[in-house]
Structure 1
Amino acid sequence: MSEPQLSIRSAKARTLARSLSRRTGLSMNRLVEQALERYDRELRAGAPAAAIDIVWDLAAAGRIGVAAGASSAHDDLYDDNGLPR
């Protein structure tokens, strides 16, 4: 008897699965299983997907209220010789 099949109609998911399969040597089926198992564990633990997600969340929160096009160069604080104005 064959195993039940899961059909996902997403070009992006298929491309990611193929790429990861080539890089890891795992079958696409096993990759999907591992990804779902990991996601399940993370949801159960209430933990973010990865530490970098916390950094991106903090960065996004820090940008709230900052004018579009603003930078952190601070060129306006220094003269042509690099000395404070």
Structure 2
Amino acid sequence: MSEPQLSIRSAKAKILAQSLARRTGLSMNRLVEQALERYDQDLRAGANAHPIDAVWDLAAEGRKSVLAGATSNHDALYDEHGLPRSGR
């Protein structure tokens, strides 16, 4: 009994698959299977829930390096009129 066939008519997909197959040593069939499995896992894990989620993830990661007690308050830089304080 023969394997079911998948036919994708995309020159770009073919070029990518051939290039990756050469670089990885995998057959194009196995390469496509692995790519689809990984994409399925990512979707199930919610990795692609919404594009803005990636921004929030980056912000949370960056926040880890901020010292405790640090704020984004810049009141010390401005006087009571909202003008920049002199650097004296």
Q: Identify the TM-score tier after normalising by the shorter chain.
A: 0.5 to 0.7
Distance in 2 separating the partners of 1:44 and 1:12: 26
Amino acid in structure 1 at the alignment position of 2:15? T
- Unaligned 5+ residue runs, structure 1? 49-53, 59-85
Q: Kindly name which structure, 1 or 2, has the bigger radius of gyration based on alpha carbons.
A: 2
Unmatched 5+ stretches in structure 2: 49-53, 59-88
CA deviation digits over 1:22-61, x for unaligned, max 9? 000000000000000000000000014xxxxx47xx8xxx
How far did residue 5 of structure 1 move? 0.5
Percent of residue pairs identical: 84
User: Could you tell me which residue of structure 2 aligns to residue 35 of structure 1?
Assistant: 35
- Between the aligned partners of 1:4 and 1:47, the Cα distance in structure 2 is 30
CA RMSD of superposed structures (Å): 1.5
1:67 matched residue in structure 2: none
Q: List, as ranges, runs of 4+ consecutive aligned residues in structure 1 with deviation greater than 3 Å.
A: none
Query: Structure 1-normalised TM-score?
Result: 0.56
CA distance in 1, matches of 2:25, 2:5: 21
TM-score using structure 2 length: 0.54
